[in-house]
Chain A
Amino acid sequence: MRKLIRRPEIGAVAAFLVTYLFFVVMTSGAGFVSADGTAGWLNLAAELGIVAVPVGLLMISGEFDLSIGSTVGMASMILALGTRYFGLPDWSMILLALVAGGGVGLANGLAVVRTGLPSFIVTLAANFIVIGGTMGVSRLIANVTSSSVAVSDPVKWLFAARWDQANIAILWWAAVALVGWWVLSKSPFGSWIYATGGNATAARGAGVPVDRVKIRLFISTGVAAAFVGVIQAVQWNSGNATYGMGYVFQAPIVVVIGGVLLTGGYGTVVGVVFGTALFGVISTGIFYTGWNTDWVQLFLGALLGVAVFANTQIRRLALQGR
Chain B
Amino acid sequence: MKYFKGIGTAAVLSAGFLAAGADRAAAQTANPDGPIIVVSGPLSWPFFAAVKQGFDDGAETFGIDFQYVAVTDTANMTSDYPRLLQQAISRDPKMLLVGEFFPDGMDPLIREATDAGIPVLIHNSGQTLWEENGSIGFVGEEPFQMGYRAGEIQAAEGVTLGLCFNQVPGNPTVEARCDGYIAAMEEAGADTIYETIGTGDATNPQALAQAMSGILQANPGIDGIFTLNAVPAMSALQAVSNVGREGEVMVGTADLSNEVLEAIQDGRLAFAMDQQPYLQGFMSMQIASHFLEYGLHPIGHVKTGPLVIDSSNVERTLEVNNEHTGIRGAF
Contact = CB atoms under 8 A, between A and B. Distances in A.
Nearest to A39: B242
Interface stretch (B11-19, B42-50, B80-88, B304-312): B42-50
B207 A283 contact: yes
A126 to B, nearest CB: 14
A283 B231 CA distance: 18
Contacts of A294: 169, 196
A232 B238 CA distance: 13
B168 to A, nearest CB: 12
A78 to B, nearest CB: 14
A67 interface: no
Contacts of B242: 36, 40, 165
Contacts of B74: 242, 245
A131 B72 contact: yes
Contacts, number: 144
A276 B259 CA distance: 30
B214 A32 contact: yes
B331 A43 contact: no
Interface residues of B, number: 42
B217 A284 contact: no
Contacts of B331: 84-85, 142, 144, 146-148
B44 A285 contact: no
Contacts of B227: none
B212 A144 contact: no
A166 B217 CA distance: 17
Interface residues of A, number: 55
A132 interface: yes
B257 A238 contact: yes
Interface string B151-181: 0000000000000000001000000000000
Contacts of B195: 287, 292-293
Contact of A128 (B72, B203, B218): B72
Contact of A287 (B44, B205, B210): B210
A71 to B, nearest CB: 14
Given A143-B49, A144-B331, A246-B202, A44 B207 contact: yes
A284 B211 contact: yes
Given A246-B201, A246-B202, A287 B259 contact: no
Interface of B: 43-46, 49, 53, 72-74, 169, 195-198, 200-207, 210-215, 217-219, 231, 234, 242-243, 257-259, 325-326, 330-331
14 contacts: A30-B217, A36-B242, A40-B242, A139-B49, A143-B53, A144-B331, A148-B331, A235-B206, A236-B259, A240-B231, A242-B203, A243-B205, A287-B218, A292-B195
Given A165-B242, A287-B210, 19 more contacts: A30-B218, A36-B242, A131-B44, A143-B326, A144-B326, A144-B330, A147-B331, A238-B257, A240-B44, A243-B203, A283-B198, A283-B211, A287-B211, A288-B218, A293-B195, A293-B196, A293-B211, A296-B198, A297-B200
